[in-house]
Amino acid sequence: MRGAGSRPLAAIFVAAIIAMFGFASLSPAGAATAGVSAKKHSKKKHKSSKKAPKPNGKADFTARGSVGDAYVEDATPGIKLLLVNRKNRIVSKGKADSYGSKIFYDQKMGSGYRVFSSKGKKVSATGKFQILKFGKNPPASFYQGKPLHEGLNYVTMRDGVELAMTVRLPSGKDLSDGPFPTYIEHSGYQTAAPHDAFAALLGGKSDPLAPATSTAVGSILGPLLDFATVSVQMRGSGCSGGAFDLFGLPTTFDGYDMVEMVGNQSWVKGGKVGLAGISFSGISQLFAAGTQPPHLAAIAPMSVTDDLYTGTGFPGGIFNKGFAKTWITARMRDAEPAPAGGQDWAKVMTTTGDPMSADSASEMQHCIDNQKLRLQTRDAIKQQEKNPYRTPKLFKYRAPGYWVSRIKVPTFWVGSFQDEQTGGHFPESISKLNKNKNVWISLQNGVHVDSLGPSTITNWNDFLNLFVADRIPKISGLVLSFSSLLYDQVADAPAKPVQQSKYVDYTDVNKARADFEKDNARIRLLMDNGNGVPGSPGAIGANWEMHYNSWPVKEAKATRMYLGKNGALSSKKSRKSSRLKYKADPSARPPQTLNGAGESDAWVAEPPYDWAPLASGKGLGFTGPTLSKDMVIAGSSSLDLWLKSTKKDTDLQATISEVRPDGKETYVQNGFLRASHRKLNRKLSTAIDPFPTHLKQDAAPLSRRKYSLTRVPIFPVAHAFRAGSKIRITVQAVGGDRPIWDFLTVDKGEAKNTISIGGKKPSKFVVPVLTGADAQGTTLPSPKALRGQPSRDYVEASNGG
């Protein structure tokens, strides 16, 4: 999930915000410190196992425990390895790879483990170790007395694995000028590469030892804002040790360890550490904050997903072979052992070292040693192929949303409903923060990069300064004058001007913080992003906004619209039942609206979208009456279909759009469902928000004769349908509505799907209409103005809607 600086000029934007703002060994087995309870996470049962052979020698390799895993290093390549529990039973087997390493994943947490090796009659054993328990954190002393210096550090986590961490200070300062307000950026991109990214840009030369611009929030922006930052390289990537296992428990609890290690540094102001970043380094914040490290002051995630299954990897239970697959494939390439593979900086560090470092030889050796477990990287593509359902063992703790309910610190969260990369599912986890009173969330229409837009960046700066830096925020005049030019560089789009902080003239930081809490609504809905600059459709920035105290918004009323004859959408259902048919043919339209274009083309002012209309006979459309007044929706929606099919399974795509008075149609939001996944979690599901379980045991085929109620969940969105427009809902095969998502669908153009309308089985569309809300006097945006929302000529579906 590429962060906002992925394009070559993006780093110029982040760097040029120069003036935008004023300014390690195995943990003991002792009792748990503050954090998440471990009790219910240590109950995994092993399969039936054999008794281990009696050892007759001492192993010449090392074995240690991580959180839920055990790992071996320095074994003879190819030797047989046995993981043995405290009852002397063999619980897992394997062979050492060509690096002499092996990871035994997903083991029962507890003590008394050993690893045996056998070669002929010789059976060797390691000493006993424990597989670390979920949430059983090291004592405070583990993090003390381990100073970090400016530049590249190698820091030992609770399981003995080293992470590369690069300390970056405000320009022209050294540690003696501290203490500094400090935040961490934790990412699997090239993050901890030790060179100066800003200097590399100014020099106009590519530097393999500079961090990727996708991590510039920590490597460039923070130091320019007078923050010290720590760029933490995720385990299994770059020069960090361990194996890459996307958001596995060891990575999650690295988040706790890194915060505590940094928070104990004498140069960190007040021992308070923030977390910041967009995309990958936004998502990682949710995991780290959920472990509740005591020194964590606040987090500011941007452009995240809340669920690796439903949110991005398998929307509606359908594998996303577009962005999701290409992204994880790239991460696995990053995790390959250097110097033959992996990230550029690791290739250099494992061969020649850093020529600018006085400690180059030592840093080089650390990086070389930290490649040992790389061949044990889990094949995420194979995992996904083997787990088309929501397998709890694989997805439960890898869901960012699982950890959100455990976040206790102040949180500033920004996201776009139509995010072309991470998707629009993320608001489903906002309600998990209900017990946290210090939460400010900005939601808008738009794309991945828009979280850094002018409608939110000032508030982001205010938040970090007030809750991490403990100082008055300020934005300099230079960027107030040139901010629009900077956004043009990052996204090839104009933008509204950045506004000065409203707290700039305060002298009392406590007063400023109290007023920030009072002035900012918990939920800020930024409306018509792209229509905020007159004469510049697609310019970054919202035109108007609405404020609420909760999400889901309490003022949103579930409004039912029944699917009818001739494509009608009505508040009243027909007494007589009838049926409509369509053929599920994903080849009837281009698979993506930016098919073949670059990912960042979605960021420009008017992207070259190819949003094709429904093909004749290949989908159904239903359009409501002309609106006599504005209708504003905010929240999730549901398309409730009574469905049968000539095939046992079919994939459904439901799309909301606005049919405008000028004959154009604007995309609003969509949702997906593999019909066999239709069984709902009744405890979580509501009239507007169905939650399929996606569990294998709940899957059920469709019938050719009998209708099944099939509720298609539609991602959350906020949108104002103007008076004179019509609301439309369509259903068809998956694909053709999103810029870079693509789907591994079960449909081959053969399934003939039938939907019941009216009578005893009335299919309906349920939307969250905001009571008393309107567009606040704003006019209908031009057809291509709204960011993230393609436009096309309205064409009736073959059923008339």
Decide if pLDDT at 43 tops 50. Answer: no
By the 8 A CB rule, do 462 and 475 touch? Answer: no
Amino acid at 95: K
Residue 483's H or E segment, with its range, is helix 477-491
Sign of CA dihedral 644, 647, 653, 659: negative
d(CA 533, CA 525): 18
Q: How far is CA 133 from CA 31, 391, 677, in A?
A: 11, 21, 33
Strands 411-416 and 268-278, how do they pair? unpaired
Conformation bin of residue 413: beta by default, left when phi > 0, alpha when psi is -120 to 50 = beta
> pLDDT value at position 6?
41
Antiparallel, parallel or unpaired: β 180-187 and 268-278: parallel
Give percent above pLDDT 70 in the chain. Answer: 93
Q: Quote the CA–CA distance of 536 and 242 in Å, as a whole number.
A: 49
Buried b (16+ CB within 10 A) or exposed e, 538-564: bbbbbbebbebeebbbebbeebbbbbb
- Average of pLDDT values for 440-451? 97
CA distance 539 to 293: 39
Confidence check: pLDDT of 15 > 60: no
* CB 564 within 8 Å of CB 783: no
Residue 477 has pLDDT above 60, yes or no: yes
- Span 744-762, pLDDT tens digits: 999 999 999 999 999 999 9
- Sorted by sequence, the CB contacts under 8 Å of residue 448 that are 6+ apart come out as 1, 2, 4, 279, 303, 416, 419, 420, 421, 422, 602, 603
* 83 three-state secondary structure: strand
For residue 216, what pLDDT band results from cuts at 50, 70 and 90? Answer: confident
Residue 179 preceded by cis peptide, ω within 30:
yes
Q: Please check the confidence at residue 577 and state whether its pLDDT lies above 50.
A: yes
Is 541 a residue whose pLDDT tops 70? yes
Check residue 118 and give its pLDDT: 86
**Helical residues (DSSP H) of 378-432, grouped into ranges:** 380-386, 392-395, 400-404
Among 608, 528, 637, 588, residue whose Cα is nearest residue 750: 588
The whole-angstrom separation of Cα 372 and Cα 795 is: 58
**104/114 Cα distance (integer angstroms):** 12
- Single-letter code of the amino acid located at 240: S
* HEC assignment per residue over 662-696: CCEEEEEEEEEEEHHHCCECCCCCCCCCCCECCCH
Query: What values do phi and psi take at 516, rounded to 5?
Result: -60, -45
Q: How many CB atoms lie within 10 A of CB 407?
A: 25
Mean per-residue pLDDT of the chain: 92
Indicate the pairing of strand 439-444 with strand 523-527: parallel
Q: Is the pLDDT of residue 40 over 80?
A: no
Distance, CA of 417 to CA of 423 (rounded, Å): 7
Worst-scoring range by mean pLDDT, 218-222, 416-420, 480-484, 515-519?
480-484
Residue-wise pLDDT tens digits, 357-369: 999 999 999 999 9
So what's the pLDDT on residue 490?
75
The rounded distance, in Å, linking the Cα atoms of 647 and 674 is 12
Distance between CA atoms of residues 540 and 414, nearest Å: 14
**Residue 47 binned pLDDT confidence (cut-offs 50, 70, 90):** low
Q: Are 143 and 51 in contact (CB under 8 A)?
A: no
Tokens of 395: 């997805």
Give tens-digit pLDDT for 697-721.
Answer: 999 999 999 999 999 999 999 999 9
Query: What whole-number percentage of the chain has pLDDT above 90?
Result: 87
**Residue 52 near residue 88 (C-beta atoms within 8 A):** yes
Provide the pLDDT confidence category of residue 16 given band limits of 50, 70 and 90: very low
Average pLDDT over residues 242-269: 98
Cα separation of the two ends of the chain: 36
**pLDDT, tens digit (0-9, with 9 covering 90-100), for 258-280:** 999 999 999 999 999 999 999 99
Beta bridge partners of 89: 51
**DSSP class of residue 464?**
H
The pLDDT value recorded for residue 597 is 67
Q: Are 83 and 91 in contact (CB under 8 A)?
A: yes
Task: Identify the pLDDT of residue 36.
Answer: 42
Nearest to 617, CA basis, from 564, 581, 655, 665: 581
The DSSP annotation for 385-452 comes to HH--S--HHHHTTT-HHHHHTT--S-EEEEEETT-TTT-S-GGGGGGGGTT-SSEEEEEESS-GGGGG
Q: Determine the average pLDDT of the residues in 9-32.
A: 36
pLDDT score recorded for residue 598:
65
Cα 490 to chain centroid, rounded:
21
Is residue 257 predicted with pLDDT exceeding 80?
yes
Q: Do 338 and 367 form a contact (C-beta atoms < 8 A)?
A: yes
pLDDT above 60: residue 398: yes
How far is C-alpha 420 from the chain's CA centre? Answer: 12
pLDDT of 373 above 60: yes
Q: How far apart are CA 94 and CA 103, in angstroms?
A: 9
Cα separation of 55 and 50, whole Å?
15
| Residue pLDDT, tens place only, 638-668 | 999 999 999 999 999 999 999 999 999 999 9
Tokens of 60: 């010449």
pLDDT of residue 3: 42
Residue listed under structure tokens 């099919």: 645
Going by the DSSP 8-state scheme, the letter that residue 218 receives in this structure is I
552: preceding bond cis by omega (within 30 degrees): yes
Q: What residues are paired with 655 via a beta bridge?
A: 670, 730
In degrees, to the nearest 5, what angle opens at C-alpha 692 toward C-alphas 757 and 551? 95
Confidence band for 416, pLDDT divided at 50, 70 and 90? very high
Residue 600 in this model has a pLDDT that exceeds 80: no
Token pair of 544, please? 């108007």
Inter-CA distances, 153 with 11, 162, 168, 275, Å: 24, 9, 11, 19
Separation between Cα atoms, residue 324 and residue 328, nearest integer Å: 6
> Residues 133, 106: contact at Cβ < 8 Å?
no
**Cα–Cα distance between 218 and 284 in angstroms, integer?**
14
Q: Is the pLDDT of residue 10 over 50?
A: no
| Structure confidence at residue 26 (pLDDT) | 31
Return the pLDDT at 225.
Answer: 87
Q: Which structure tokens are listed for 89? A: 């039973």
| Strand ranges (E), 176-265 | 180-187, 228-233
Per the rule left: phi > 0, alpha: psi between -120 and 50, beta: everything else, 670 is beta
Q: In the prediction, which pLDDT does 483 show?
A: 77
* Residue 20 tokens, joined: 């935008």
Give CA–CA dist 221/13, Å, rounded: 9
